[in-house]
């Protein structure tokens, strides 16, 4: 069999062994040699991380969990006298391997050819890269990316090896890299670092990992947990926080109903007791433009309401969000240019006191209720009858809230406990907190707060709820009647 026939048979066999996303070949044409490309996609363990030291001498490395690394690319050409005499000519390129590691792989491919000279070698090369290269290089988690580009490469910005690197000699035999007369290691001329700079390495890897995860997700088949139909991932969405998968048709209907009802904080995973929120980009990809605009506006409004340094313009026709100047209590509306006091919501009065300060409501109520007719008339003329009525009502409301409600430790919204355990969920900002000590709880494991011996709330998760059909309030009333 001639070299040409062996080359054609080898390329045909490889095209049947490997998927076209991994292996591609180009047949020989007039004046050009046959060639191709093979992508080595490392199979990483589940808990694999890459690390990057931001600066020299840093005590802690920056760790990032990844599932996929950019492929190492083997480009090859088959000379006319391959495989009888000469091996394939090739380059090996990577974004995340050092020049020393790429050179080591080139040396290994050369040694495989020397052991099997005269035989077709591409399948053995590809099998080595796919099955043994990771172990051959001694790679493990965390993979250090701090000095992938050599100092000479970083200074020169070159993508290939320096001129004194080794390669094929004039006779076409392969030479291996070794140590030159100096102290530096020699690079193989076929080893190529396909990355522009060290600063771009980590973003490139994380971006590839993100897109590859998405590509693999779209290829898999999932069972929607709502309609229970089997669909490709390309027709599904996955909630990032929990990993639950649903088809786009079901989620489109679900999102549409929630947004029309104004419940933008209700776009959560439909799974029981799961509180993972849908990402805005997922919502945008499913609902129409008009509905997403409404969702975006409501989401912004809800977010602003939870911010302690934001108030709304008191003019009913404006209601634009305004950033508070806490030192001067000055609010300057960017929408209607209304300058107001953020305490009393009236026109800004400088250093003069507010007409009715919030901390004076209780005192004002007591003065008005206990005052004589003359005193009441004076207060009504000074503050206005409606203002005094509001002060009385608000003071009573504050007393009721102080007695029967507690403030969320995160957004300060008043919460009343009607039933259930002492792990509370704020309906405004969705924070978890303890009803007993008002401490913010962990999002990942809120119940650990009640399971730590020695802590004030240990074993008090269900304290105060109904016991044997009679709650604490009923017990108190019954004891009072005895």
Q: Which residues are annotated as catalytic?
A: 421
Number of C-alpha atoms within 13 angstroms, CB side, residue 153?
Answer: 19
SS3 391: helix
CA separation for the pair 176, 105 (Å, rounded): 11
At which residue do the structure tokens 């060639």 appear? 35
Q: Strands 143-144 and 49-52: what pairing?
A: parallel
CA separation for the pair 305, 334 (Å, rounded): 17
CA separation for the pair 241, 238 (Å, rounded): 9
Q: Return the DSSP state at 326.
A: T
Q: Which tokens is 63 given?
A: 């760790």
At which residue do the structure tokens 């309030």 appear? 473
Strands lying side by side in the sheet with 143-144:
62-65, 49-52, 143-144
CA separation for the pair 413, 137 (Å, rounded): 57
**In contact, 358 and 340? CB cutoff 8 Å:** no
CA separation for the pair 346, 359 (Å, rounded): 17
CA separation for the pair 306, 309 (Å, rounded): 9
Going by C-alpha positions, the residue among 372, 364, 416, 413 that lies closest to residue 390 is 364
At which residue do the structure tokens 């929990």 appear? 242
């Amino acid at each position: 069999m001639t070299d040409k026939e062996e080359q054609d048979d080898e390329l045909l066999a490889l095209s049947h062994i490997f998927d076209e996303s991994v292996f591609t070949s180009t047949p020989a044409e007039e004046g050009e040699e046959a060639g191709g490309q093979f992508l080595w996609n490392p199979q990483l363990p589940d808990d694999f991380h890459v690390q990057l030291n931001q600066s020299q001498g840093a005590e802690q490395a920056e760790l990032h969990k990844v599932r996929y690394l950019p492929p190492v690319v083997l480009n090859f050409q088959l000379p006319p006298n391959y495989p009888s005499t000469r091996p394939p000519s090739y380059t090996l390129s990577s974004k995340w391997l050092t020049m020393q590691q790429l050179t080591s792989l080139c040396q290994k491919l050369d040694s495989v050819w020397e052991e099997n000279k005269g035989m077709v070698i591409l399948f053995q090369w590809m099998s080595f890269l796919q099955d043994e290269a990771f172990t051959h290089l001694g790679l493990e988690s965390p993979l250090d990316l701090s000095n992938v580009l050599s100092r000479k490469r970083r200074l020169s910005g070159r993508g290939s090896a320096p001129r004194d690197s080794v390669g094929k000699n004039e006779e076409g035999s392969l030479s291996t890299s070794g140590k030159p007369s100096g102290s530096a290691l020699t690079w193989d001329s076929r080893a190529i670092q396909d990355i522009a700079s060290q600063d771009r390495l980590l973003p490139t890897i994380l971006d590839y990992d993100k897109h590859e995860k998405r590509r693999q997700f779209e290829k898999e088949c999932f069972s929607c947990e709502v309609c229970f139909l089997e669909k490709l991932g390309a027709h599904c969405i996955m909630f990032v926080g929990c990993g639950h998968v649903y088809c786009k048709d079901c989620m489109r209907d679900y999102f549409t109903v929630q947004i029309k009802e104004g419940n933008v904080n209700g776009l959560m995973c439909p799974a029981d007791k799961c509180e993972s929120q849908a990402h805005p980009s997922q919502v945008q990809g499913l609902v129409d433009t008009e509905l997403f605009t409404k969702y975006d506006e409501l989401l912004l409004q809800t977010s602003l309401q939870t911010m302690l340094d934001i108030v709304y313009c008191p003019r009913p026709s404006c209601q634009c969000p305004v950033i508070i100047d806490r030192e001067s209590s000055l609010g300057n509306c960017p929408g209607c240019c209304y300058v107001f006091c953020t305490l009393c919501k009236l026109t800004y009065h400088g250093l003069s006191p507010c007409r009715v300060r919030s901390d004076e409501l209780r005192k004002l109520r007591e003065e008005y209720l206990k005052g004589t007719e003359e005193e009441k008339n004076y207060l009504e003329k000074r503050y206005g009858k409606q203002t005094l009525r509001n002060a009385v009502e608000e003071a009573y409301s504050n007393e009721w809230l102080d007695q029967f409600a507690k403030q969320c430790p995160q957004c300060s919204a008043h919460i009343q406990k009607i039933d259930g355990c002492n792990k509370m969920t704020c309906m405004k900002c969705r924070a978890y907190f303890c009803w007993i000590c008002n401490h913010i709880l962990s999002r990942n494991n809120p119940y650990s707060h009640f399971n730590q011996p020695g802590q004030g709330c240990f074993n008090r998760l269900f304290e105060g709820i109904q016991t044997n059909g009679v709650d604490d309030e009923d017990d108190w009333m019954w004891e009072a009647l005895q």
